[in-house]
Amino acid sequence: MKPWYDIRDAAERRATIWLYDEIGENFWGEGFTAKQFVKDLAALDVDGIDLHINSPGGNVFDGQAIFNALRGHPATVTTYIDGLAASIASVVAMAGDRVLMASNALFMFHDPFGMVMGGAGEMRQFADVLDKIGDTIADVYIARTGAEPDAIRAGMAAETWLEAAEAKAQGFVDEVTDSVKVAAHFDLSRFHNAPPAALIQDTPDEPAEGSPDTAAEAIPKPRAWVFVPWVGFVSYPSKEV
């Protein structure tokens, strides 16, 4: 089993973290939970952390736990958005004391979503829970950008996709860097407003320099998405018929 993240110690008391896949444990129990990530992070006795992100998001609570752990670590964290920081991965990106975004990368934020079974009362209660979760996510963006809460919540409701220059103009990132080649592939059809350029990605010959081998592996395109009560998602890949 290969991890969806990789932590590497580097010289001069720095560590590099590659977060190049969906966040959280999948339906088959593969991958690493936030609990494992936080444990590994806590073991890093370094002064600086370089966090590289190329992820479509995943489980909200795993992402929030990772964000909080990064913010609480004594090291200075620099975030690099190498390809995609979507959904809860965009929240994790905000953990950086400084956030850099490649000129060919994408940033997306939206309202949380999930599914619950039950009567009208359960449905209304779950909607209230989603609103509260959305508020906690919005607080992260507001703290980073200084934007008005209503503007952030409107952007979340609309499922907003930003190019690097737009993300910088709105205060989500501090600096736009040169383009980066990445080789991870994600099916973004679960999202409402994903631009065609994000849905059809080129396949470069090599992943970003120094990134883990998992970055070079294509993620199987799912035929159906199942939204689960803990406000994340898992996929059931199936054969073409």
Report the CATH number that the domain containing residue 79 is assigned in CATH. 3.90.226.10
pTM for this predicted structure: 0.79
Classify residue 139: in a domain, yes or no: yes
241 occurs within a structural domain: no
Is residue 56 a part of any domain in this protein?
Answer: yes
- Per the prediction, the chain carries an average pLDDT of 79
Determine, yes or no, domain membership for 33.
yes
Look at residue 40 and tell me if it is in a domain.
yes
Does residue 192 have an active-site annotation?
Answer: no
Domain count across the chain:
1
Task: Specify the pLDDT at position 9.
Answer: 74
87 a catalytic residue = yes
Domain ranges, residue 16: 5-236
Q: Is residue 72 part of a domain?
A: yes
φ/ψ (deg, to 5) at 82: -85, -35
pLDDT digits (tens, 9 = 90+) for 91-113: 999 999 999 999 999 999 999 98
Residue at 150 is within a domain: yes
Domain-located, residue 83: yes
Cα distance between residue 234 and residue 13, in whole Å: 36
**Of 55, 87, 90, 211, catalytic:** 87
From 55, 110, 211, 235, active-site residue? 110
